[in-house]
Amino acid sequence: MNILITGASGLVGGGLVQHLTAAGHDTFSLQRNKNQAGSFWKFDQLQVAGSHQIDAVVHLAGENIATGRWTQAKKKKIITSREEGTKQLAQFCTGLEIKPRVFFSASAIGYYGDRGSETVDETATSGTNFVAEVCRAWEQAAQPVAEAGIRVVFGRIGMVLSGRGGTLPTMLPSFKLGIAGVVGRGTQYISWVQLEDLITMIEFILTHDEIEGPVNLVAPAAVTNREFTKTLGKVLKRPTVLNMPAFAARTVFGQMADELILSSTRVLPSVLMRNGYVHRYANLEAAIRASLA
């Protein structure tokens, strides 16, 4: 397949390009144009992609939601980078004479908001907080692609585990020093996915025409913050007794603490499992060990 990928320089995109290339696919990277007003993507790269018959589009690009405090300017950039980038990519795809067979657009499990101990799958309603708002806008921007008759998949991604980037490396210093512990009450659920699994999930979706709409890209067993903390401490052979109260997390991270750290989202990958996807890493300890190997 000829596959157009945005966000190819990121953690997930870089690994996906490597994997797809090794599997015999041709990939085309599309980067954001930071200089030309009115055009979100680099026009010359769109021209190159447009000169080939693009079979699939994988849209991963978006402002990093987990870095920096959520000022009004930051929040606007988070939404705009996803909404405008997706809209212009949708215009490109729907304008092609021979249209792609599938359009995969990244989203996040933040779509569901804070659900406590409730187990949710792809049929659940959206939350009401900022992250849920971002996810709704992100997914809505791709609707013109579906209206053009192209198969559209919204990949609602959980916390990605990798030693090369993302959340895990930022946790390691405090854990290795023995000054880490549970955040808040520790009962909030974390829905996670190991990077290698995430990459093969996306490939699985691209090659299975029966899959469309929202798809949760997570391991089958979410864990509480307390369980995650205990497991990472076990892998690193370090104590995890210095807990961080909720108020301290809010002081350090602001609104991000309530929506990304203290909120609870217990998600099932029902669509993937129903279609026969087999997780390589369904166990958290094995996933962490593989990520840090």
Distance (Å, whole) CA 233 – CA 235 = 6
| DSSP β-ladder status, 223-224 and 189-190 | antiparallel
pLDDT of 45: 73
Residue 59 and residue 110 in contact, taking contact as beta carbons nearer than 8 Å:
no
DSSP annotation of 27: E
Say how far apart CA 153 and CA 57 lie, in whole Å.
10
The number of residues in the chain equals 293
CA–CA gap between residue 159 and residue 164 (Å, rounded): 14
- Which burial class, exposed, middle or buried, applies to 108 when counting CB atoms under 10 A from its CB (0-12, 13-18, 19+)? buried
Report pLDDT for 67. Answer: 85
pLDDT, position 51: 65
Report the predicted TM-score, pTM, of the whole model to 2 decimal places: 0.93
Evaluate whether 124 touches 131 at the Cβ level (below 8 Å): no
Tokens of 181: 């512990």
Q: Are 165 and 11 in contact (CB under 8 A)?
A: yes
* Contact predicate 157/107, CB 8 Å: yes
User: What confidence score (pLDDT) does residue 66 get?
Assistant: 87
> With contact defined as beta carbons under 8 Å apart, do 82 and 137 qualify?
yes
Using CA of residue 235, residue 240, residue 246, residue 249, what is the dihedral sign?
A: negative
* Alpha helices per DSSP H over 237-265: 246-253, 255-256
Cβ neighbors of 198 (< 8 A, separation 6 or more) are 12, 157, 160, 217
Provide the β-strand partners of residue 244.
Answer: 183
Nearest partner of 281 among 117, 122, 159, judged by Cα: 159
Query: How wide is the angle at C-alpha 115 spanned by C-alphas 113 and 117, nearest 5°?
Result: 150
Lookup: tokens for 290: 């593989």
Using CA atoms, how far residue 44 sits from 55, 103, 211, 220, 263, in Å, is 19, 21, 32, 41, 42
Assigned token pair, 223: 């864990």
Identify whether the C-beta of residue 88 lies closer than 8 Å to the C-beta of residue 40. Answer: yes
Question: Distance (Å, rounded) from C-alpha 136 to C-alpha 108?
Answer: 10
Task: For the chain, list the domains and their CATH numbers.
Answer: 2-292 (3.40.50.720)
Give the mean pLDDT per block of 10 residues along the chain (293 residues): 92 96 92 64 69 90 88 93 91 91 97 97 97 96 96 98 95 95 97 98 98 98 98 97 94 93 97 98 98 96
